[in-house]
Amino acid sequence: MSSAISGLRPVIDTSTVLLILGSMPGEESLRKQQYYARATNDFWKIIGKCIGRMLASMPYEEKISTLLSHNIGLWDVYQYCSRDGSSDASIAGTSLNDFKLLRTEYPAVAKLLFNGKEAGQHADLDGE
């Protein structure tokens, strides 16, 4: 049986230019209230290589402040959904986050990067 879940608040500030969008945080990320919290997720290693910082070994708050200092933010395409476990394959009953409002409040956002196939299905958000 699928359970209804709500996503995390966006990691963004007025200097954010690039917003990386996932679908919905996994169970561990939701439990910890941290993006990409699962130890086996390579997100922090990959983004760290891109910006020349060892993000994976930093405490979460330092990871976030480092991303923001590089004008990078995080969020998800879904505000809420139903899902069994953490797999994107079982996502159903979705509601999108309010990207029009986000772009009004954070006009510096110039690029959206979709992290994964499920999130990428909403690439048309880039035109909003």
What is the C-alpha separation between 88 and 25, in angstroms, rounded? 9
Q: Is 71 a catalytic residue?
A: no
Q: Looking at 41, 71, 97, 115, which residue is catalytic?
A: 41
Any residues with CB less than 8 A from the CB of 112 and at least 6 apart, and which?
A: 18, 19, 21, 123, 125, 126
Q: Tell me the pairing of strands 3-6 and 78-83.
A: antiparallel
Q: What is the set of active-site residues?
A: 41
